[in-house]
Structure 1
Amino acid sequence: MSAGRRAMLWLLAAFYLAAGLLHLRSPAAFLLIVPDWVPAPHLTVIVTGIAEILGALGLLVPRLRKTAGIGLALYALCVLPANLKHAIEDIVLPGLPSSWWYHGPRLAFQPVLIWAALYASGVTRWPWRRLPRK
């Protein structure tokens, strides 16, 4: 594993671990951005926090790494509606900016976060090299 990929792996693991712990510690803040159509919003926030923590830990276990990377990529895709609601409805969350200078880059970064989970976990080498076919 290259130094860049290893650094990204550790950065993502730290990011998702911190985010997961924050979901568990302060679920009320996240409830504000859960879309209305999501069932059991409080439970959903708790489960997503646990998923982030497990994904972060999975990235650090070689035999679970690819599964964790795919899971975190899917997770980042699934939270897009909450991020859109946060931006479109201009919901103020404590400690976060509420301008489009924050929301625009955050939404634009979502595909990068998906790619980063897949790249750091070894699921893809794109755009640098294709994985060898087995």
Structure 2
Amino acid sequence: MSTSDHDDDPTAKPSLRETVTAGLVQKALEPVLRAVRDEVASARREIGERVDGARTGLVLTGIAVGSALTTLVLLAGLVVALLALVLPVWAATAVTFVLFALVTTVLFAIGIRGIRRGVPPVPADTVRAAKDRVTHAADAPARRD
């Protein structure tokens, strides 16, 4: 007795029903896939913007550090020398140190704030929009009834 099942034959062509079903599934999934692609593109854009903000914060922090060191080296001697005309050398040095420490602290705080704004680079706006779309899509069938 020979058995020749259509389902077991790997070379058999798909039936009309299978072809139509596959086409319908593809048409049904197309808007979902397009929406997913749009959300991924939006997330990439948003992450890029946040990374740019973090990069700017890092650059400003680096400039602040370089500026603080340069200022410390170049101006410390001048300030100490000027204050030494009125105060003892140890007091002039202490005043100069406090002044430079304050400037460095302010610049560092501004740079860190910029870094925190961009890290971690989470696309919060895109996530919120996607959740809104999902909620809206879930509510749509309920409104039709």
**Length-normalised TM-score, structure 1:** 0.34
Structure (1 or 2) with the larger CA radius of gyration: 2
Q: Which has the higher helix share?
A: 2
**Length-normalised TM-score, structure 2:** 0.32
